[in-house]
Amino acid sequence: MTTPALADIRALADEAYTYLYPLVTMDVSRAKFTTTAGGMGHAAPNTFAHIREFPPADFRAVVAPNFDTLYSSAWIDLANGPVVIDVPDSAGRYYLLPLLDMWTDAFAVPGTRTTGDGAGRFVLVPPGWSGDIPADAAVIHAPTSVVWLIGRTQTNGPADYAPVNAFQDGLGLSTPSGGAPSTATRASVAPASVDLSGDPLGIVNGLHAVDFFTYATDLLTEYGPHPTDFSTLARIARIGIVPGHRFDAEAFDGEQLDALEAGREDALARLRATVATMARISNGWSMNTDTMGVYGDFYIKRAVVSMVGLGANQPEDAIYPIVVADAEGHPIVGEKDYVQHFAAGQLPPVHAFWSVTMYDKDSFQAPNPLNRFALGDRDPLHYNADGSLDLYYGPTDPGGERTANWLPAPAGPLRIITRLYAPKRSALDGTWNPPALKAR
C-alpha cells in the first residue's frame, strides 16, 4: 500500500468512518441485545424478544418509545443455514416485520401492507446458500448472514394487549426441517480493548480511529459490502480498509495515525451537525420522507439515521414528522400552550393509523395527571361540527370536551412526533404536511 499524504489520509478516514458507521453500530447492538441478562428487548440469537405492554412514565431504556405498537424483535443468525419465519393470521390487525441487514437496510418487510394480514411463512436464506427449502414458504434472500427483525403490531391501548400478545406468541422461528435454530451467540470481532458493556451509541462514538477501523474492517470481511459500494471501497482501500484483510495500524507512523483520528473526529462532528438539516421543514415539522430504510449510496444519511434512529422503516411503512418550531418559528417549550388545527379532510392521510406523541427534551415521556403520552385516530377525540380537529399541547387543560384532545407537556424544550403508519402518497410526496402549532 502506498500511503497517501496526511491531508488525504484525513479525508479518506472521514469517508470511511461515515461509510462504516452503521455496520459497527449494528454489530455493537447485536452483541448488546443477544445477551439474555440485559432486560427488555434482550434474547438469545434466533429467539423472539416480545414487548408485552407500553412503557410506563418512568421508562428510560429506549428513547422516543411509541404508544401505537408492541415490538417483537429477533436477531436472526443464518450461519447454519436458512431460518423460517412463521406469522399467524392477524385478523385484520396492522403489523410489519422489517428485516434489516447489517448495513441497516430494510431489505424486506413482510406485513399487512406488503404480504397481507393472513398467516404467512417466509424462509430467510443467507448469501451464497443453496439447498432445499419448504415449498410452502416465500423465499427472502438476506444480504448478510445476520439479520435484525424488528416487528411492530398495532395496539389500540392497554385494553388491546391480550390479542396482540396472542399474535406475538404465534410468531415463530425454525429451521427448514422444523427444528429449533441454534441460539449460540456469534463471537464478537471487536478488538479486545473494546468494552461492549455500555450503551451501543456511546460505545461506537467513543471508539478511537484504530479500534474503529480494525473492528469495521473485520466486520466488512464477515458481512460483505453491497454490490453498489465499489467506488467507496476503491477509495478507502488506500488507507488499508479492504474486505478480507486485517487493518494494519502498524503501517502508519505517528503523524499518519493522528490524521486517521482527525478524520474520524471530522466525520463524527459532521454526522452530529447533519442531524438538524437532513430533512425538509414544512409548517415547523421536519419531514424525513425520502431515502429512508433503503439508502443506496447516500452514506451520510444512513450513518445519521443509525446514530439517531437505528432500525428506521421504509417510508411506505411509516413516517415520523417531528416538530421543530411553532407557526412563528419559535422553539416548542412546555411552558406555552399550543393548538394544532386540522381542517376537515386534512387529517393525517394513512392506510393504517396515525398518532401524535409528547416527549421531553431527551425524547422520553413525562409523567402527567392523565398518564397520557399520545393521541391518535383510535382515541375518542372530540371533532368540531365541520369535521375539523383541534389538538392541544401544553401545561394547561383546555377544559370540557377539549380535554380529550389534550397532551399534557412537561416544562422545558419539547419533542413532539407524529407517526403515520402506511402513509398515503400525499404524505410521502409532500402534498400533505402536518399543520403548524400555534401558541394560544
Which cell numbers hold the place of 71?
415490538
Taking alpha carbons only, the member of 199, 415, 421 closest to residue 313 is 421
How confident is the model at residue 262, as a pLDDT?
A: 98
Tell me whether residue 375 is in a domain.
yes
Q: For residues 90 and 230, state if they share a domain.
A: no
How confident is the model at residue 198, as a pLDDT?
A: 84
Beta bridge pairs of residue 407:
393
pLDDT digits (tens, 9 = 90+) for 141-170: 999 999 999 999 999 999 999 999 999 999
Segment 236-240 mean pLDDT: 97
Whether pLDDT at 21 is above 70: yes
pLDDT digits (tens, 9 = 90+) for 373-408: 999 999 999 999 999 999 999 999 999 999 999 999
Distance between CA 123 and CA 329 in Å, rounded? 50
Q: For residues 252 and 164, state if they share a domain.
A: no
DSSP string, 390-430: EEEEESS---GGGGGGEEE--SSB-EEEEEEEEE-HHHHTT
| Structural domain ending residue among the three candidates 218, 248, 277 | 277
Q: For residues 316 and 427, state if they share a domain.
A: yes
Residue pointed to by grid coordinates 406555552: 336
Q: For residues 206 and 159, state if they share a domain.
A: no
Angle, CA 417 vertex, CA 412 and CA 423 arms, to 5°: 170
* CB contact at 8 A, 57 and 365: yes
Between β-strands 138-141 and 106-108, what pairing exists: parallel, antiparallel or unpaired? Answer: unpaired
How confident is the model at residue 172, as a pLDDT?
A: 98
Tell me whether residue 198 is in a domain.
yes
Tell me whether residue 193 is in a domain.
yes
Whether pLDDT at 37 is above 80: no
pLDDT digits (tens, 9 = 90+) for 71-90: 999 999 999 999 999 999 99
Whether pLDDT at 178 is above 90: yes
Distance between CA 326 and CA 328 in Å, rounded? 5
Q: For residues 269 and 286, state if they share a domain.
A: no
Tell me whether residue 180 is in a domain.
no
Range of the domain at 229: 6-26+188-277
State the pLDDT confidence band at 3, using cuts at 50, 70 and 90.
confident
Total domain count, the chain: 3
DSSP string, 78-135: -TTS-EEEEE---TT--EE--EE-TT--EEE--BHHHH-SS-EEEEEE-TT--S---T
Distance between CA 190 and CA 5 in Å, rounded? 28
Q: For residues 243 and 286, state if they share a domain.
A: no
By percentage, how much of the chain surpasses pLDDT 90? 90
Residue 67, SS3 per DSSP:
coil
Tell me whether residue 356 is in a domain.
yes
Whether pLDDT at 327 is above 90: yes
Q: For residues 197 and 236, state if they share a domain.
A: yes
State the pLDDT confidence band at 1, using cuts at 50, 70 and 90.
low
State the distance between the two ends of the chain, measured CA to CA, in whole angstroms.
65
Tell me whether residue 183 is in a domain.
no
Domain CATH number, residue 148? 2.60.40.1610
DSSP single-letter state for residue 160: G
Inter-axis angle of helices 209-223 and 254-274, nearest 10: 70
Q: For residues 293 and 434, state if they share a domain.
A: yes
Tell me whether residue 181 is in a domain.
no
Residues 6+ apart with CB under 8 A from 261: 13, 208, 209
State the pLDDT confidence band at 315, using cuts at 50, 70 and 90.
very high
The model carries a pTM of 0.94
How confident is the model at residue 87, as a pLDDT?
A: 98
Whether pLDDT at 112 is above 70: yes
Tell me whether residue 284 is in a domain.
yes
| Structural domain ending residue among the three candidates 277, 305, 320 | 277
Distance between CA 376 and CA 154 in Å, rounded? 12
Segment 350-373 mean pLDDT: 95
Q: For residues 350 and 209, state if they share a domain.
A: no
Average pLDDT taken over every residue of the chain: 95
Q: For residues 144 and 250, state if they share a domain.
A: no
Inter-axis angle of helices 6-33 and 254-274, nearest 10: 60
> How far is residue 295 CA from its own chain's centroid?
13
Q: For residues 254 and 195, state if they share a domain.
A: yes
Q: For residues 273 and 292, state if they share a domain.
A: no
| Structural domain ending residue among the three candidates 133, 149, 174 | 174
Domain CATH number, residue 208? 1.10.3360
Whether pLDDT at 38 is above 80: no
Task: Average the pLDDT over each of 60-64, 177-181, 358-362 and give the range with the smallest value.
Answer: 60-64
Q: What are the C-alpha distances in Å from 111 to residues 96, 118, 152, 155, 292?
A: 4, 9, 9, 15, 18
